[in-house]
Structure formats: structure tokens, C-alpha cells
């Protein structure tokens, strides 16, 4: 039996329990209790979540777990000496330690993330890097595995983290079966972006949205301002002004973001060569695509593909 200790604290965010549910469903699919789940807190007893209700917990104690997960909150709360001591102890005794979302701040404060690659919710990533400069924070990742330490982005990314653990423990078929029961995508790759270019743009008018839809359907084309303006049924000057007012970006920058996002997805799927991906996404050649990836992610396409392959291994 694989023992999982899930650590909570006053004001924890209940979305973290989505990961707990994934392990519960794995037991149901397997037909046996492969995972034993225990809610932990420093003193034990009832602990109130940010949503207002309380859950019953056991104190940290000396019990040894195979996996220890540290829950997250809506904000970075002060950390007690007892919580930090338990994080250090877990690093010595558990097979793996996991921190979805802001749980990474607990591990960082405990001093066990120095020199490691980590991620967290995009809204807290720069704060994490600023507070703990010895970390290698990759803010645009769904989850990262660095030795025994697993960290993930926020909210639903905890499900991806749990599914990756289930896949590691019980194989890809079991992870796929659990994902189907949860009615979620099988598992987003750890290297997949937390961001969506279309969500970031947030067009407010039907005309600008029509231009974005046209661009997404025709990424192989040059996609000039004139083409996009025609799709929006506006003059090029009116379109450029309206587009920037609604999205905060120029049409050219938005198109590049769409191309990069689509190219990155194709790289993570691993079915096409770099030349094919560059052509399909309208970059024309690999060098233009490389420069766009460096602007967007600070990494070349080869690094993105290499990370995706290592996560899948």
C-alpha cells in the first residue's frame, strides 16, 4: 500500500482535494486500496478551509509516508516552524514530496528546493523566484519533476500532477482510466503551457473575435493586417486601432503568440518534425520559429520538445 499524507493549514484552498480524488478513484478502478490517504496538519483536529468548512486531520507525528503533498492557499500565509520542520523531515523519509500551486513556497522556505527546477501558479511564479533566488522557477509549466520533488501550477494542474504520479506508480493504462472517470483530459504534459494565447487576448467585440478565429484557422497564411481587417469587416486602420484597444497587443504580436502556442502543442505531441511544424504554423522556416520561441519562453523549440519527451519517459 502506498501511503499519501496530504498536509493542510488554516485557510487552505479546497481545489487541492482534486488530487486526493484522483488517488481515491485509482483505488476504485484498481479494485483494491493501493493508495491510503491521510489528511495532516500540525496539531491535528479540525482545520478550516478558505471556503469556510472544516476537515478533520491527524497531527504530523513521526509517521512515515511514501508521498507527502503540501496543500495550497489563495495567498502566501506565514509558515510555522512546525510546518517547515515537517517538510524537511518528509524530504528525508518520503519517496517523493509534492507541492501543487503555492505549496512550493513551503518547500522553498524549508530550504529543500535550492538549485531545483520548480513551478507554481503563474500569478505567484515571479514572487517565488524573487523570494528564493536559488530556485530555478519555470513559470510556464503545468508540472515539473526534479528528483523526489514534484511541483505543479495552480488549481486544476493538481489533477495533472496526481495523474502523473498514478501513471508512474500503476502505468499509463490506469492513469488513462482514472482520467476518464474524472472526465478530464488524459493528462496534460508537464511541459505544456499554463497560458492560452486566445484567453490572454480576451477580445470584447464580435469583429475582433472573428479576426482571431480566422487567424487560428489560417496560421499557414501570412495573415497580414489587411487580411485580418477584411475578416473583421473593418478598414486596416480601424481594425488595428480596435484590436489594440481590446487586446492590448498589436495584430502582429497576437498572431505570433497564436503561432507559438500551436507550434508548442505540436512539439509536445511529438508527431512532426520541426520543419513541418514551422510550415504548418506559418513561421516559414525553423529560424523564425526559434526566434519567436526565445521571445515567448526564453527557450528554443528543441528545449521544449526535449522537456516534453523527458516528462513522458
CATH number of the CATH domain containing 94: 3.40.50.880
Residue 209: which CATH number?
1.10.10.60
Q: How far is 97 from 116, CA to CA, in rounded Å?
A: 13
Cβ pair 259, 292 in contact under 8 A: yes
187 falls within a domain: no
244 falls within a domain: yes
Is the domain of 9 the same as that of 94? yes
**pTM confidence score:** 0.65
Range list of β-strands (E), 67-158: 67-70, 96-100, 117-118, 136-137, 143-146, 149-152
Q: How far is 108 from 106, CA to CA, in rounded Å?
A: 5
Walk along the chain (313 residues) and give the pLDDT tens digit of each residue: 999 999 999 999 888 888 899 999 999 999 999 999 999 999 999 999 998 999 999 999 888 999 999 999 888 888 999 999 999 999 999 999 999 999 999 999 999 999 999 999 988 988 999 999 999 998 778 889 999 999 998 888 889 899 999 999 999 889 989 988 888 755 455 445 555 555 456 677 888 989 988 998 999 999 999 999 999 999 999 999 999 998 888 999 999 989 988 898 888 777 789 999 999 999 988 999 999 988 877 778 888 787 766 655 5
Kindly state the cell numbers that stand for 298: 526564453
Q: Which domain holds residue 112?
A: 2-182
Q: Quick one: pLDDT at residue 31? A: 93
**How many residues are given for the chain?**
313
Amino acid at each position: 500500500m502506498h501511503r499519501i499524507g496530504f498536509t493542510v493549514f488554516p485557510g487552505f484552498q479546497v481545489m487541492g482535494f482534486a488530487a486526493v480524488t484522483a488517488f481515491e478513484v485509482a483505488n476504485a478502478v484498481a479494485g483494491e486500496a493501493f493508495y491510503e490517504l491521510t489528511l495532516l496538519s500540525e496539531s491535528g483536529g479540525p482545520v478550516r478551509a478558505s471556503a469556510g468548512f472544516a476537515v478533520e486531520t491527524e497531527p504530523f507525528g513521526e509517521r512515515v509516508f511514501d508521498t507527502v503533498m503540501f496543500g495550497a492557499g489563495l495567498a502566501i500565509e506565514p509558515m510555522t516552524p512546525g510546518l517547515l520542520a515537517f517538510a524537511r523531515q518528509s524530504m528525508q523519509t518520503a519517496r517523493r514530496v509534492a507541492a501543487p500551486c503555492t505549496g512550493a513556497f513551503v518547500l522553498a522556505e524549508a530550504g529543500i528546493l535550492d538549485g531545483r527546477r520548480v513551478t507554481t501558479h503563474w500569478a505567484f511564479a515571479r514572487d517565488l523566484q524573487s523570494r528564493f533566488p536559488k530556485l530555478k522557477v519555470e513559470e510556464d509549466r503545468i508540472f515539473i519533476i526534479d528528483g523526489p520533488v514534484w511541483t505543479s501550477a495552480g488549481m486544476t494542474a493538481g489533477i495533472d500532477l496526481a495523474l502523473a504520479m498514478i501513471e508512474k506508480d500503476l502505468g499509463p493504462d490506469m492513469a488513462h482510466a482514472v482520467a476518464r472517470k474524472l472526465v478530464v483530459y488524459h493528462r496534460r504534459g508537464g511541459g505544456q503551457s499554463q497560458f492560452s494565447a486566445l484567453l490572454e487576448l480576451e477580445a470584447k467585440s464580435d469583429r475582433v473575435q472573428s479576426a482571431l478565429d480566422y487567424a487560428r484557422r489560417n496560421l499557414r497564411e501570412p495573415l497580414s493586417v489587411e487580411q485580418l481587417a477584411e475578416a473583421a469587416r473593418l478598414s486596416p486602420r480601424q481594425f488595428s486601432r480596435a484590436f489594440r484597444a481590446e487586446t492590448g497587443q498589436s495584430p502582429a504580436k497576437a498572431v505570433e503568440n497564436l503561432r507559438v502556442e500551436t507550434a508548442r502543442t505540436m512539439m509536445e505531441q511529438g508527431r512532426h518534425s520541426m520543419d513541418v511544424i514551422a510550415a504548418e504554423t506559418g513561421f516559414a522556416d525553423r529560424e523564425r520559429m526559434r526566434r519567436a520561441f526565445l521571445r515567448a519562453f526564453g527557450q528554443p523549440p528543441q528545449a521544449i520538445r526535449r522537456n516534453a519527451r523527458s516528462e513522458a519517459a
